[in-house]
Amino acid sequence: MYGSIGKMGITGMQCATNQAIAFCIPSEGLTHLKFLFYALKNEQQALVAQGQGGAQQNISQTILKAHPVPLPPLPEQKRIADKLDALLSRVEAGRERLERVPKLVKQFRQAVLSAAVSGELTREWRGGGDAAWEETTIGELLTGIEAGLNVKCEERPPLEAERGLVKISAVTWGRFQQEESKTLPPTEEVPETRRVKRGDFLISRANTLELVGACVIVERITKKLYLSDKVLRLNFKNDGNKVWALYCLRSGLGRQQIESLVSGNQLSMRNLSQDALRSIVLPLPPLPEQVEIVRRVEALFAIADRLEQRYQSALVSFQRLTPALLGKAFRGELVPQNPADEPASVLLARVRAQRAAEGTGPKRGRKPGKAAGQDGAEPKRRGRPPKAQAIPTAMNEAEALRLLQERRQQRAEGARLVGLFED
């Protein structure tokens, strides 16, 4: 009822709730449990729209009780609930299969990189046989490594006329993302030599164990961004080795070395020093074979990109399926209607009449009690007890005890018990 308004479920056990959760108990013989669940699920956005409050939206029981829901005949409610059960279980099964796609695509990319750095990808291009490649280190391929600044910035991407520092998230997810940056103070002096340019090879020197050492080659940049202290730029002697080094560092061969060389005990942040980075060992095929490997990897990665695009499109379609099915169900279009079904209006009227006859309908207030003085009894009072009546002094002890006993008996016989909720 507040916080995550409109989230709902059906309990599978006896339980108690706190004040943030409302129990909806269907009327027996009038409302089917699953039908009520799906009807409210279909109204989730309408309920959210009625939320009140500032920091934490909430809806009251009054709003919830007053919210209208459709009420078809009871047999039709069951048919709708059963049909939705069947269809939505198929939707969920499809969604679970679809959600395996990103993991499969990631495994495909890693398999391509593994074949690339082991020589398997170009075995037939070489005419067969194992790859007789040299070994080198990252340091031997570089002219230098550049680091940036550690400056307190405004946590937002810079505007067109502003300058910014790249964050580690700019290089984490496979492609350079210039929006993952923060804005430098206008008065901060930054060497222009640290400005990020198209074609730069960037690598994170600090992150979690799984993400430290993530690297990209900048393909496009329009903002005035500069290196930060946690993002390094590698300057290569031969730009022809740049893409090959990228694939090697992203492969299982490169990741194993990076994760073994990082320092720090904090789970949230590990560090890769420049000396450790320079020591990473890479296979080095001849330049013509590097060019062929890069061509083949890019072609296979393009297939993976198309698979990811189709996955995103299918995911959007799946997200629309459940609301579409619920909408169709509560427009009366999902299951056939049976003219022989007793109309819900007739059922509702009968249930109301039965409750009225049994005195079980919802009522407010208390039952009328006997007026004071009737039958010589007093109604039970709330609040402070009445003042004790004085016993006449002109009587002996036996008479006083008898009178006191009579008054106690009268109060006991005239007592009324008033419940909090009465039928």
pTM for this entry: 0.71
User: What is the tens place of the pLDDT at every residue in 339-361?
Assistant: 898 887 888 888 788 778 877 55
Query: What pLDDT is stored for residue 14 in this prediction?
Result: 85
Q: What is d(CA 387, CA 66) in angstroms, rounded to the nearest whole number? A: 46
With a cut of 50, list the residues of the chain below it in pLDDT. Answer: 363-374, 376, 379, 381-383, 385-388, 390-391, 393, 414-423
Query: What pLDDT is stored for residue 347 in this prediction?
Result: 80
H-assigned helices in 376-416:
397-413
The 3-class secondary structure across 39-88, one letter per residue, is: HHHHCHHHHHHCCECCCCCECCHHHHHHCCCCCCCHHHHHHHHHHHHHHH
Query: What pLDDT is stored for residue 12 in this prediction?
Result: 83
Q: Which SS3 state, helix, strand or coil, does residue 242 take?
A: helix
Classify each residue of 248-285 as buried b or exposed e, where b means 16 or more C-beta atoms within 10 Å of its C-beta. Answer: bbbbebbbebbeebbeeeeeeebebeeebbeebebbbb
> What are the backbone angles phi and psi of residue 142, rounded to the nearest 5°?
-105, 155
Nearest residue to 291 via CA among 240, 252, 215, 245: 240
Query: What pLDDT is stored for residue 371 in this prediction?
Result: 44
Query: What pLDDT is stored for residue 401 in this prediction?
Result: 64
Q: What is d(CA 170, CA 37) in angstroms, rounded to the nearest whole number? A: 43
The class level of CATH for 134-284 reads alpha beta
CA angle at 208 for the pair 204 and 211, rounded to the nearest 5°: 50
Query: What pLDDT is stored for residue 369 in this prediction?
Result: 47
